[in-house]
Amino acid sequence: MKSNLTPLGPKADKDTVRRSNLSLVLRAVRDEGEGEATRAGVAARVGLTRAAVSSLVEQLLETGFLTESGKTFSGQAGRPGTALKTARTGPAGLGVEVNIDYVSVCVVDLAGTGRVRLTEHLDNRGTPPAEVLARAARIAARTLDSAREQELYPVGVALALPGLVSGGAVRQAPNLGWNQVPAEELFAAALASEHPGRQELPVRSENEANLAALAELWFGGLERIRSFLYLTGEIGVGGALVIDGELLRGAHGFAGEIGHVVVDPSGPRCRCGSRGCLEQYAGQAALLRAAGVDGGGGLGVAELEKRVRAGDERAVGAVAEAGRMLGRVLSGAVNLLDPDAVVLGGIYRNLMPWLAAPADEELTGRVVSGLWAPGGGRLRASSVAGDAARGAAALVMTDVLADPVAYARPAMT
């Protein structure tokens, strides 16, 4: 969750300046990692005086956002400075991923560390949206109880949802059969009923691939890569684009629906209403069917992985064909958008040893710049940190980091 740190100019009022500078200092300590930050180091990083930073640090210590831990040298002449780190208690973010065959809930702290995780495998297809979101709220309520046992107090919820998401609603999620579902409203009401009398948490929502991409950006160890195309393979195929460290949502918030790019206009009918979409060739159901694996969900994917590792010809061939289809569609996206890398997540991450070569071959032959080469490192597997629930929870924490005064302990009840 790296961020650009820029102090406000002299014309801003004192309260605005102080709140902004508290955010600068808190983010600087978070970005340095555990036990690495000192007052002197933070002052150098954010461009404020040591005296100003010391005053801001004291306020963040008093309000519980920072803690001191032992001694460390600042790297400059003089006495060692006291090591600072973000607190492991206090404000937290709650992320809830609702997908076709599971619900996953995650709580992260100020550092973005996942502290609580609950996942339940459920077949949500054909189930009324209100019932699915009520299930998710029940799992979230248990997660909140576990978080509070660790003195973590989630200050908001972000929902990671498949399909077209905007304005608090799922406009269309073909694999769930959802259309115009007011997801935020339904989830908020269900969560409130699980904890009557407790302060209601604000709820926001976002496409799950977008949030997985943000988790990859913030926690995935992409080093200096700030522009990449992210694909997640589940029952559907989702995509997201990050440019210069910012998520590209498109004019209406629907950018990234790469799973519904048409591979063959005369191909199989897709749930979206079109024919021959990428999802029909490289989605989870298509892969399992082509590999001859019965069943679906996590057990089916585990069986597929087992067979490709054992060298089963049909399974290996199915994964290779999916890789070729992915490469063909991705080549168009790479030609159009010129990202530094393409990151494959979801079920594709563990299949990369068999998926990457055919995908790379297609990309090499079709990317017109000639900059793509097999094994060149531009096609890579996602990290284990790049999941939508964690990205959703971390998204909540961006508000806390932007204005810690608004989330200081006296404001939390």
Transcribe 133-180 into DSSP letters. Answer: HHHHHHHHHHHHHHHHHTTEEEEEEEEEESSEEETTEEEEETTTTEEE
SS3 content of the chain, % helix, strand, coil (to 5): 45, 20, 35
- The DSSP code for 88 is S
403 Cβ neighbours under 8 A, 6+ residues apart: 19, 23
**Residue 32 host element (H or E):** helix 14-32
Gap between the Cα atoms of 52 and 99, Å rounded: 47
pLDDT score at 3: 54
Gap between the Cα atoms of 199 and 181, Å rounded: 25
Q: Positive or negative CA dihedral for 40, 41, 44, 49? A: negative
**Residue 344 host element (H or E):** strand 341-346
pLDDT score at 412: 39
Q: What are phi and psi of 145, to 5 degrees?
A: -60, -45
pLDDT score at 252: 85
Q: Positive or negative CA dihedral for 158, 160, 165, 171? A: negative
CA distances from 173 to 100, 163, 176 (A): 10, 4, 6
Q: What is the pTM of this model?
A: 0.89
399 Cβ neighbours under 8 A, 6+ residues apart: 155, 156, 406, 407
Gap between the Cα atoms of 61 and 63, Å rounded: 6
- Averaged over successive runs of 10 residues, the pLDDT of the chain (413 residues) comes to 55 80 94 80 91 94 88 54 88 96 94 94 91 97 95 96 94 92 97 86 95 93 86 90 92 89 92 92 93 84 95 97 96 93 94 95 92 85 89 96 85 39
- The DSSP code for 235 is S
Q: What are phi and psi of 109, to 5 degrees?
A: -95, -170
Q: Residue 255 CB: number of other CB atoms within 10 A?
A: 17
Q: Residue 337 CB: number of other CB atoms within 10 A?
A: 13
Helix 14-32 with 39-46: angle, nearest 10 deg:
120
Q: Are 44 and 10 in contact (CB under 8 A)?
A: no
Gap between the Cα atoms of 362 and 360, Å rounded: 5
Q: Are 184 and 159 in contact (CB under 8 A)?
A: yes
Q: 96 pairs with which residues across the strands?
A: 105, 159
Q: Which of 258, 322, 257 is nearest to 293 (CA)?
A: 322
pLDDT score at 358: 96
Q: What number of H helices and E strands is found in the chain? A: 12, 15
pLDDT score at 411: 43
Gap between the Cα atoms of 389 and 396, Å rounded: 11
